[in-house]
Chains A and B, each alone.
Chain A
Amino acid sequence: MNDTIQIPARSVGAASSDATAVLGAPPPRTTPKPFSTSLARRHPRRLESLVEKLIFLISLSAILLIFLIFAFVGRESLPVIFGRTDNTRARKPIAVADISHTPRAELALYLGLSETEFATYDVATVQTLVELKAQELAQNSNPDSRMNTTSWRMMFQPYHWFGYNKPEFIWQPVSEVPKYNIVPLIIGSLKATLVALLVSVPFGVGAAIYVSQLANPRWREWIKPAIELLSGIPSVVLGFFALIVMASILQGAFGYASRLNALVAGLALGLAVIPVVFTISEDALSSVPQSYLQAALALGASRQQAAWQVVLPAALPGVFAACVLGFGRAIGETMIVLMASGNATIVSASIFDSCRTLTATIAAELAEVVFGGDHYRILFLLGTLLFAVTFVSNLIGDVVVHRLKTRLEGKG
């Protein structure tokens, strides 16, 4: 091809006219010619679109479940939340003769029954119950029995109960005057969770740093699954191990009074939470772009310096999320604390004292409650509280992880 080829000036439009010269003019744009088989949809694919719609509906199940959980657990606790429950036990005693004059709702409340239960009793039974109640009230000299112990104030603030020296936070639902203060339970949950985090965060994050940054890469392949094996141990087994094996050893080592306490439960809880913290932190550390690490190493930093000064800070959001998710897991755990914390509903700052968590309370007491009664509703309230706390902590964890991902992808 010579360099001085003559290229006549032609526009792009002319090129297409060349095409028409080759192929003949394209047919004028009229109605499309009937083709032997048209491209229009032949048989409507009804079955397929039905199946696809079904798949879509089923995929809404997760949303539906969350909503249902919130609705059904919350529903049972609504009366307590709105302050509609009232268990003032001592009222003017109702004489047997007055039974027919008293509205059913009031009678039910007086006897401490739910309306549905009350409806199942016949007249003779109701009479007997009222008589018994009158006797009970006659013997009662406790001024506290005139108080509604299911109000918000009673659930959160200390109260100086009859027979006690000073105001106390007391959770004692099975008692002449039921006491529903939630504070001991909250403290118990927080104590056990704190011990768990104090154990799991250093060990989990430390191991994550070691495995992702410092150890031989081949070791990573079996250490990771090994630690994940720990997450495969059912929590009831960890609780069993804490109760049967760890408790005695720890008591021997530290010499404290209660064999089962926040320390034992917290340590076992920590074991349960370590895999969560480890896995998410390790993922975060390994996802830090290689370029960061290599830049640090190229500047003469040691692996340890690079890990501590460059990689860990870059992965901090992910590590933080790991801790938040670990917190959520710890505070929601039931079997370990049920078996190893001693279940004493006391308020104490010491981790060597027995404690009772929100989760263990529900598990331990739900079997014995009157369906629809105050105790029942307050247990559901505890459940709602747990749901709310883990919902929020999950939200925080997810938002942070999401931000981390977009940040890394933006720079990566």
Chain B
Amino acid sequence: MSEPIFQIRNLNFWYGKAQALYNVTVPIAPKRTTALIGPSGCGKTTLLRCLNRMNDLIEHAHAEGEVTLHGQDIYAPTVDVVELRKRVGMVFQKSNPFPKSVFDNVAYGLRTQGITKLGVLEDHVERSLRRAALWDEVKDRLDTNALGLSGGQQQRLCIARAIAVEPEVLLMDEPCSALDPIATAKIEELIQDLERFYTMIIVTHNMQQAARVSDFTAFFYLGKLIEFDDTKKIFTNPAMKQTEDYITGRFG
């Protein structure tokens, strides 16, 4: 068995005085998809945003405990948050393409890394768009404003943008919740393809999606990790009653 790429150990998290995560310990397997599921407010998005320290943007939020990426504690004072975010990318619930051209969107992360040669950029952009299954749809309109794309296309563009910087891990915060079923299906297919290249962690409130798409599943409730296991096992034979109740729809 391989070592986890991310190891979260005894993580506690507070928004001001309100505690949102209680002693969470969970490993993340490399080059696999891990799903975080649970009812609203259970802390799954909070945990996700801890992994690339996006929670740092919130005033009065703080974390205690250990989150290690390849053995390095990402909350250590010597850590450069900007570097971390280049390794751990994120796709948001509501797609947020920049009001720039399709090309400039995907190239944004590359340009901030200092890559400016047009030829190099073009190669990277094409590769990312192909991996995101968007290339065929936009290859003739790379210079048009990204806001002109459909909702599903915009989200795939955000995925392409995120993978353009070649992260190791891709965090996805309910990426399909704002999309119609067809667009959702396309993205779920994409997630399974991208597993070849990236470790994926996906937060979803759609259990069937978690069951379809992930290899491992972590079930959270009220800030605590209730159960973590193979997805197949969680959904066919969960060990905890709470898990079973949630999966069968008794609450949440």
The residues of A with any CB-CB pair to B shorter than 8 Å are: 1, 5, 7-8, 10, 12, 14-16, 18-20, 22-24, 26-27, 29, 32-33, 35, 38-42
Contacts and interface: CB of A to CB of B under 8 A. Distances in A.
Interface string B13-38: 00000000000011101000000000
Contact of A35 (B2, B70, B216, B247): B70
A39 B68 contact: no
Contact of B4 (A5, A26, A32): A26
Nearest to A20: B27
A10 B84 CA distance: 36
B74 interface: yes
B83 A22 contact: no
20 contacts: A1-B244, A7-B238, A7-B239, A7-B241, A12-B226, A14-B239, A15-B226, A15-B228, A16-B25, A16-B225, A19-B27, A19-B229, A23-B1, A23-B3, A23-B4, A26-B3, A29-B9, A32-B71, A32-B72, A33-B71
B3 A22 contact: no
B235 to A, nearest CB: 9
A175 to B, nearest CB: 63
A326 B37 CA distance: 57
Given A15-B240, A19-B228, A24-B2, 6 more contacts: A5-B237, A22-B216, A22-B229, A26-B3, A39-B69, A39-B83
Given A16-B26, A27-B3, A32 B73 contact: yes
Interface of B: 1-4, 7, 9, 25-27, 29, 68-74, 78-80, 83-84, 87, 216, 224-230, 237-241, 244, 247-248
B209 to A, nearest CB: 19
A23 B80 contact: no
Contacts of B244: 1, 5, 7
| Shortest beta-carbon contacts, A-B, top 9 | A24-B1, A41-B80, A32-B71, A35-B70, A33-B71, A39-B79, A32-B72, A19-B228, A15-B227
B169 to A, nearest CB: 13
A8 B79 CA distance: 42
B41 to A, nearest CB: 19
Given A5-B244, A15-B226, A39 B71 contact: no
A27 B225 contact: no
Contacts of B87: 39
B240 A1 contact: no
A40 B80 contact: yes
A23 B27 contact: yes
Nearest to A45: B82
Contacts of B226: 12, 15
Nearest to B239: A10
A26 B72 CA distance: 13
A38 B72 CA distance: 8
Nearest to A22: B230
B80 A42 contact: yes
Contacts of A32: 68, 70-73
A33 B216 CA distance: 25
Contacts of B72: 32, 35, 38-39
A319 to B, nearest CB: 33
A8 B243 CA distance: 13
Given A8-B239, A15-B226, A39-B72, A26 B27 contact: yes
A15 to B, nearest CB: 5
B83 A41 contact: yes
Contacts of A10: 239-240
A161 to B, nearest CB: 65
Contacts of B1: 22-24
B167 to A, nearest CB: 13
B70 A23 contact: no
Contacts of B69: 39
Given A19-B26, A23-B2, A27-B3, A12 B74 contact: no
A8 B241 CA distance: 9
B225 A12 contact: yes
A1 B248 contact: yes
Nearest to B24: A16
Contacts of A24: 1-3
A38 B240 CA distance: 39
A18 B226 CA distance: 12
Contacts of A8: 239
A10 B239 CA distance: 8
A19 B225 CA distance: 12
Contacts of A38: 72
Nearest to A43: B80
Nearest to B237: A5
A32 B248 CA distance: 41
Contacts of A16: 25-26, 225, 228
A407 B241 CA distance: 46
A14 B25 CA distance: 11
The residue in A7, A8, A23 that gathers the most chain B C-beta atoms within 10 A of its C-beta is A23
A39 to B, nearest CB: 5
B83 A23 contact: no
A29 B9 CA distance: 10
A5 B235 CA distance: 13
